[in-house]
Amino acid sequence: MQEPNRDIFPTPAMLERFPNITPLLKNEAIETAFNRHEALSVSGKRWFHRLGLVSMVLIGGSAIYTIAEALLFTGAGNPVISIAAAVSAAIGISAQVYTLAAKVKSQWLVNRFACERLRSIKFQAYSLAATARDEDELAKRARQLTATELAKLESELNMGISIFEAFVPEKCVAVPAPGPGPANPDITGEALTAFRELRLLYQDRYAAAELHRLRENRRVFHSAADILYFSGACLVLLSLLAKIVPGMPATLNAWVDFFAISAFVLSISKTVLDSATLTEPSTARFVRYREDIAEVERRIEHGATLDTVVPQMERIALGELEEFCDASKSINYRL
């Protein structure tokens, strides 16, 4: 998405289109908490991936140089380069130790979890429009629901990363008691349209954009995997042939062994990178997510009301968050 979080921070044009549901579109308590957790999440994710990539490059590069020194430069290695390789490996290991000690991954994931819970809380309030008589009543009930759910969220976040184990989506979907009514048709109509645009359509477009990005990345990664596998297989064959064919130069044998082992090291690094990016699980998640959103749209087309579709959509959205929580356990850059 070129401008992320437009569902949380609607544009002035959106506010003008839906003047009767301003308390739902503008929720100051949600926006303030979201900004705080979003900043921490973005920072944590950036540092986690930067430190992870740096450690992979330094440790992998040092390993390849060590192999080269053993096979190609036996007794003739440059001490300065050897020291530099050792220092690089030490820095790479230190980066991974720091990532674990500083809980950089937890900072990213817990705050990402908080952001998605806040997003859901904001849209759960849309079910209040089903029985709201006027904007004042809608604003009052939205404030009450927000305060209650924010208190629950703060208690959840106090658990840290262990919240991923305790998270149950069904328990996080508020089902407020119906208001005294009768419902205001202007409020109900605007709320349903806004919910479809800001929640359903926005999430569908987000999932579609993520699928496109993941498929493009997967194309590159699969090509790299194919090249590494084919190269490694050919080099292993050459290495074996070089050892059984008489008269092969020892230097040539050493170079073939070096490239074969290097291809193996690179393939391991590529596997680690796949684990850190979760390309395959994320693709499956987003495909299912789009299908579930389409089902909610079909229910609206058949006359479903806000007090029905809002809880249904939020269960779906929080279910997708639960899948992310489960998949995130395997995210790491450890070689």
Using alpha carbons, list the distances in angstroms from residue 38 to 34, 41, 99, 119, 232. 6, 5, 19, 11, 43
In this prediction, residue 63 has a pLDDT band, given cuts at 50, 70 and 90, of confident
CA 214, 217, 219, 221 dihedral sign is negative
| Structural contact between residues 33 and 150, judged by C-beta atoms closer than 8 angstroms | yes
Q: What is the pLDDT of residues 72-104, one digit of tens each?
A: 777 666 788 888 888 998 998 899 899 989 999
Give the angle subtended at the CA of 205 by the CAs of 203 and 206, to the nearest 5°: 60
Using alpha carbons, list the distances in angstroms from residue 250 to 71, 232, 233, 239. 10, 20, 21, 11
In this prediction, residue 212 has a pLDDT band, given cuts at 50, 70 and 90, of confident
Highest mean pLDDT range out of 49-58, 61-70, 113-122, 158-167?
A: 113-122
| Helical pair 202-244 and 279-301, crossing angle rounded to 10 deg | 160
Q: What is the pLDDT of residues 137-191, one digit of tens each?
A: 999 999 999 999 999 999 999 999 999 999 999 999 988 888 777 889 999 999 9
pLDDT value for 254: 74
Domain ranges of the chain: 12-330
| Structural contact between residues 316 and 291, judged by C-beta atoms closer than 8 angstroms | no
Whether the pLDDT of residue 71 is over 80: the answer is: no
Give the tokens for residue 80.
Answer: 């300065």
Q: Note the pTM of the prediction, 2 decimals.
A: 0.83
pLDDT value for 216: 73
Sort 29 into a burial class: Cβ within 10 Å, 0-12 / 13-18 / 19+.
Answer: middle
Integer Cα distance of 112 and 39 in angstroms: 10
Whether the pLDDT of residue 129 is over 80: the answer is: yes
Give the tokens for residue 234.
Answer: 């050919």
In this prediction, residue 210 has a pLDDT band, given cuts at 50, 70 and 90, of confident
pLDDT value for 289: 93
In this prediction, residue 224 has a pLDDT band, given cuts at 50, 70 and 90, of low
Nearest CA among 319, 292, 293 for reference residue 171: 319
Q: Which residues contact 37 (CB under 8 A, 6 or more apart)?
A: 111, 112, 114, 115, 118
Q: Which residues contact 277 (CB under 8 A, 6 or more apart)?
A: 217
Max Cα–Cα distance, the chain, nearest Å? 96
Whether the pLDDT of residue 128 is over 90: the answer is: yes
Whether the pLDDT of residue 223 is over 70: the answer is: no
Nearest CA among 101, 114, 111 for reference residue 51: 101
Q: What is the pLDDT of residues 271-321, one digit of tens each?
A: 666 665 655 557 888 899 999 999 999 999 999 999 999 999 999 999 999
In this prediction, residue 239 has a pLDDT band, given cuts at 50, 70 and 90, of confident
Percent of the chain with pLDDT over 70: 86
Q: Which residues contact 274 (CB under 8 A, 6 or more apart)?
A: 221, 280
Residue 243's SS3 state is helix
Nearest CA among 57, 55, 146, 144 for reference residue 93: 55
Whether the pLDDT of residue 266 is over 90: the answer is: no
**Higher confidence at residue 327 or residue 230?**
327
